[in-house]
Amino acid sequence: DTEVTQTPKHLVMGMTNKKSLKCEQHMGHRAMYWYKQKAKKPPELMFVYSYEKLSINESVPSRFSPECPNSSLLNLHLHALQPEDSALYLCASSQDAAGAPPAEQYFGPGTRLTVT
Amino acid sequence: EDKVVQSPLSLVVHEGDTVTLNCSYEVTNFRSLLWYKQEKKAPTFLFMLTSSGIEKKSGRLSSILDKKELFSILNITATQTGDSAVYLCALTGTASKLTFGTGTRLQVTL
C-alpha cells in the first residue's frame, strides 16, 4: 500500500478565514512533506518533517503553519492567506531520513485551494 | 544550489512512437534521481536511480543514470494516449529535499 490521503480535495476560503489541510499515511514512513504547486509549474517544497520534527522550512510565510501530531498525520494550518496562495497543495511521505538510504516520495492527491 | 533541467519542455508524438526525455542536473551531494508522471493530480512515482549505468525498467518505460555526465533519460516505447502527461525529474541532495525540474509535457496523439 503506497497511499497518502489528503482532505479536503477542494477548499475555497476568504482572506480572513482559518482553515486546515490534513494528510495521512499508514506506510510507516518517517518523513513527511508539504509542497505547493502552481499551474504548469513543478511542485515547490514548503516543509519537511522527519521523525515528527520540523527539519526544513523553505522560508515559508508564517500564514502557513505546519503541524505533525504523530508519525502518520501532517496538518497545514492556514490563516490570513492571500489570493496568490491559491494553488494545489501536495503532501508526500517517504522512508527517507538523514543517514538512511535514499527513498522515493509518495504523493497524496492534493488539496486544490482557492483564496478569494 | 541544486538544479534540474529537463528537455524538451514539450513534445507531441504519434501513438506507437518511441520518445526519450532528458534530465540534466547539478548537485552538491547526490543521493538519488527520481522520475514522476503527473496527469491531473498528484505526481506518481516511476523510478528512483542511484547508480550509474543500471537501467530501471517497467513495462514500456525505462530509465538510466549517468553520474559522470550528470544526466538521466527516460524512454517510453510504443507510446499510447494514456502516456500523455507531464514527466517530472527530481533530485535528492542533502536533507532529503526533492528539487524538481520544470517537467516535459508529453502529448501522444492517435
Instruction: Give tens-digit pLDDT for A62-102.
Output: 999 999 999 899 999 999 999 999 999 999 999 876 667 77
Is A66 touching B (CB cutoff 8 A)?
no
CA distance A58 to chain B (A): 10
Residue in A2, A45, A110 nearest the CB of B98: A45
pLDDT of residue B44: 94
Q: Which three cell numbers stand for residue B78?
A: 510504443
pLDDT of residue A101: 75
Is A82 touching B (CB cutoff 8 A)?
no
**Are the Cβ atoms of A107 and B102 closer than 8 angstroms?**
no
pLDDT of residue A96: 75
| More confidently predicted of B94 and B11 | B11
- Residues of chain B above pLDDT 70, percent: 99
Instruction: Give tens-digit pLDDT for B42-93.
Output: 899 999 999 998 999 999 999 999 999 999 999 999 999 999 999 999 998 8
Residue in B41, B98, B100 nearest the CB of A110: B41
> In chain B, what residues touch A8 (CB-CB under 8 Å)?
none
A39-51 average pLDDT score: 93
Identify the residue whose cell numbers are 503541524: A67
Is A108 touching B (CB cutoff 8 A)?
yes
**Are the Cβ atoms of A98 and B95 closer than 8 angstroms?**
yes
pLDDT tops 70 at residue A52: yes
- Residues of chain A above pLDDT 90, percent: 81
The C-alpha atoms of residue B71 and residue B80 are separated, in whole angstroms, by 25
B9-23 average pLDDT score: 97
Is A56 touching B (CB cutoff 8 A)?
yes
DSSP helix, strand, coil percent of chain A (3-state; round to 5) = 5, 55, 40
Instruction: Give tens-digit pLDDT for A7-29.
Output: 999 999 999 899 999 999 989 99
pLDDT of residue A98: 65
pLDDT of residue A87: 97
A55-62 average pLDDT score: 93
Computed over every residue of chain A, the mean pLDDT equals 92
For an interface test with A, the pick among B5, B98, B105 (most A C-beta atoms closer than 10 Å) comes out as B98
Residue in B48, B96, B103 nearest the CB of A42: B103
Contacts 24+ apart (CB under 8 A), A9-13: A9/A109, A9/A110, A9/A111, A9/A112, A10/A111, A10/A112, A10/A114, A11/A111, A11/A112, A11/A113, A11/A114, A12/A113, A12/A114, A12/A115, A12/A116, A13/A78, A13/A81, A13/A113, A13/A114, A13/A115, A13/A116
- Asked if residues A78 and A19 have their Cβ atoms less than 8 Å apart, the reply is yes
For an interface test with A, the pick among B6, B34, B58, B96 (most A C-beta atoms closer than 10 Å) comes out as B96
Is A39 touching B (CB cutoff 8 A)?
no
pLDDT of residue A99: 67
pLDDT tops 90 at residue A35: yes
